[in-house]
A and B are shown apart, each in its own frame.
Chain A
Amino acid sequence: MVKEIERYGIPIVHMATITTISESVGANRIVPTVAIPHPVGNPQLNSEDEHALRKELVNRALNALATEITEITHFE
């Protein structure tokens, strides 16, 4: 899906825990996430800290979308 959307000309970011798989399937903008059962959250944090974490991850993804890249890039 990531590859096809990008092929159509729309910038796309892959948020994923296992970034080696992101690379092997051909994603170019990659944001590493937390864990497979909870990619963009962390149940061990209190709700305030978790909200901050989620917001930070989404902001990072939005920044990735707006960044020009020439090769596979991890936004860490």
Chain B
Amino acid sequence: MKLEIGRIHIKDIQFGDSTFVEDGVLTVDKAGLIASLKEDERIKDVQVDIARPGEKVRIIPVKDVIEPRVKVEGTGAGFPGVTSKTTQCGQGRTHVLYGAAVVTVGDIVGFQEGVIDMWGEGAKWTPFSKTYNVTVDIQVVEGLEVHTHEETVRLAGLRAAEFIGQAGKEVEPDEVLTYELGGMFEETAKYPNLPKVLYVEMMITQGLLHDTYIYGVNAQTILPSVMHPNEELDNAVISGNCVAACDKITTYQHQNNSVILDLYAQHGKELNFTGVIMVPEHTTLSGKLRVADYTVKLAKMLGADGVIVSEEGYGNPDSDLLMICKKLEDAKIKTVLITDECAGRDGLSQPLADTAAEAVAVVSTGNVSHVVTLPPAEKVIGNPESIAVLAGGWKGAVLEDGTMMCELNAVIGATSEIGYHNVTCRLY
């Protein structure tokens, strides 16, 4: 499977009468975008705004972040199975408005959303302070059931990304990246002496608005599934998660999964990147046991010498992570875990909910409980009071002058367990 990602570098965003890119400046037809989103009758009102790196702007509560893209060759237009008909993702050519992002904002439904500060202290902690953001703040009509409410807002964000992505259709990209991986036997014949390394990506799929979708299928309903890495890089996976903001994998982070990109970079050099196994995180013990056994079985069938496992969320999924680790190591497959830590505000508490002696290679992506103080913003997009009900926030967290305190828990992407950020924990 071969995928070309054509990056069009975006250096600024402005509003205008039509949507296009010229000299790296993205112009967005604001009225057209709003009219397009309002075609969904469940949407009452849409506020569209721009937040640029360095501006004293706070966005809260953030539900999802999405990279605007357009398919220019091959199947897989839009978000197949979600906003468009189901077609194969991962091949052909996709143009990306690189450096731009759509940020979905809306009323709290699942109360675990997040904050993005575009400047200063807050900007240090979130990767989405460095993107040129188009924010879509969605109000839905009254009386929608909570799941429908959430779905409406999420879909609006995805559709906004599609609408804006169209601007890249006729533009010559600044750079073209090629991601190509043949069949497993073919790649192994090419690199017989390199270790076969699989990526196991755990996804939050716990119901109650905590779900991840693959081609529109709620991953809660799947057994662990083998995917070609290109599919994830090409819009097959979307976030539907109202979980702690710091380590939810936003749709943007699926589209740019750092573990996949890093494994690709080493493919044929240090290792043979054998594929991705998508693993749901269940709320039942039998679900966790079944998933762990099934994942290990797939890894053995695929002849893996090594596996990298990334978690999503923390708490009960820590036990899934360690079950998978223990069983892989017992099967003599070398295993590296990527997880954040919930180590208390002083960093002294037990960092994971579960332990296993087999977990000997663990990459920490930061302490979710670390408290940060964010100075007052000149402009707030969304609703600053929502920090009182966000995970990582508390009532009274916003002072009179607009200063806000929160744990990293509430900062989007602050402790990303796929490594899409720069934080770790160090032992002193």
Contacts of A17 in B (CB 8 A): 283-285, 316
Kindly state whether residue B319 has any CB partner on chain A within 8 Å: yes
Residues of B within 8 A of A18 (CB): 285, 288, 316, 319, 353-354
CB 8 Å contact bits of A12-37 with B (1 = contact, 0 = none): 00000111110010000000101111
Which residues of the other chain, B, contact A21 by a CB distance below 8 angstroms? 316, 319, 353-354
Asked whether, in the complex, the Cβ of A20 is within 8 Å of the Cβ of B283, the reply is no
Q: How far is the CB of A10 from chain B (nearest CB, A)?
A: 24
Q: Which residue of chain A has the shortest Cβ distance to B355 in the bound complex?
A: A24
Check if B283 sits within 8 Å of A37, measured CB to CB.
Answer: yes
* Interfacial residues of chain A within 33-51, with CB under 8 A of chain B in the complex: 34-37
Question: Majority SS of interface residues in chain B?
Answer: loop
The residues of B that contact A32 with a CB separation of less than 8 Å are 285
Is B227 in the interface zone, CB < 8 Å from A? Answer: no
Report the interface size class on chain A. 10 to 19
Chain B, range 287-329, C-beta contacts under 8 Å to A: 288, 316, 319, 322-323
Contact status B316-A36, CB under 8 Å: yes
**In the complex, which residue of chain A has the Cβ closest to the Cβ of B287?**
A35
- With a cutoff of 8 Å between Cβ atoms, the chain B residues found around residue A24 in the complex are 354-355
Q: Name the residue of chain B whose CB is nearest to the CB of A37.
A: B283
What A residues does B323 contact at CB under 8 A?
A: 20
* Chain A CB within 8 A of B207 CB: yes
Contact digits for B200-220, partner A, Cβ 8 Å, 1 yes 0 no? 000000111000000000000
Give complex CA distance A34, B353 in Å.
Answer: 19
In angstroms, how far is the closest chain B Cβ from the Cβ of A51?
20
B354 touches A36 (CB 8 A): no
For A23, the closest partner residue in chain B by CB is: B354
**Contact present for B319 and A20 (CB under 8 Å):** yes
Given the interface pairs A18-B288, A18-B354, A24-B354, the reply to whether A36 lies near B322 with Cβ below 8 Å is: no
Q: How many whole Å from B166's CB to the nearest CB in chain A?
A: 40
Q: How far is the CA of A34 from the CA of B288 in the complex (A)?
A: 12
Decide if A36 touches B206 in the complex (CB within 8 Å): yes
| A37 B207 Cβ-Cβ under 8 A | yes
CB distance from B144 to the nearest CB of A (A): 22
Q: How far is the CA of A24 from the CA of B357 in the complex (A)?
A: 11
Docked pose: A19 CA to B284 CA in angstroms: 10
Chain B residue nearest in CB terms to A18 = B319
- The reply to whether B284 and A20 form a contact with Cβ atoms under 8 Å apart is no
| Cβ–Cβ contact B284 & A34, under 8 A | yes
Pair B354/A37 contact, Cβ less than 8 Å: no
Determine if A36 and B355 form an interchain contact, defined as CB atoms under 8 angstroms apart. no
Q: Given that A20-B319, A20-B323 are known contacts, is A35 also in contact with B283, CB under 8 Å in the complex?
A: yes
From residue A19, how far is it (CB to closest CB) to chain B in Å? Answer: 6
Question: Chain A residues with Cβ under 8 A from B354's Cβ?
Answer: 18, 20-21, 24
Residues of A near B285 (CB, < 8 A) are: 17-19, 32
Cα distance A65–B164 when bound, in Å? 62
Which positions in B face A, CB cutoff 8 Å? Answer: 206-208, 283-285, 288, 316, 319, 322-323, 353-355
Closest 10 CB pairs of A and B: A36-B283, A35-B283, A35-B284, A18-B319, A21-B354, A24-B355, A20-B319, A24-B354, A17-B285, A36-B316
Q: List 13 A-B contacts (CB under 8 A).
A: A17-B284, A17-B285, A17-B316, A18-B285, A20-B319, A20-B322, A21-B319, A24-B355, A32-B285, A36-B316, A37-B207, A37-B208, A37-B283
Report which A residues bind B (CB closer than 8 A): 17-21, 24, 32, 34-37
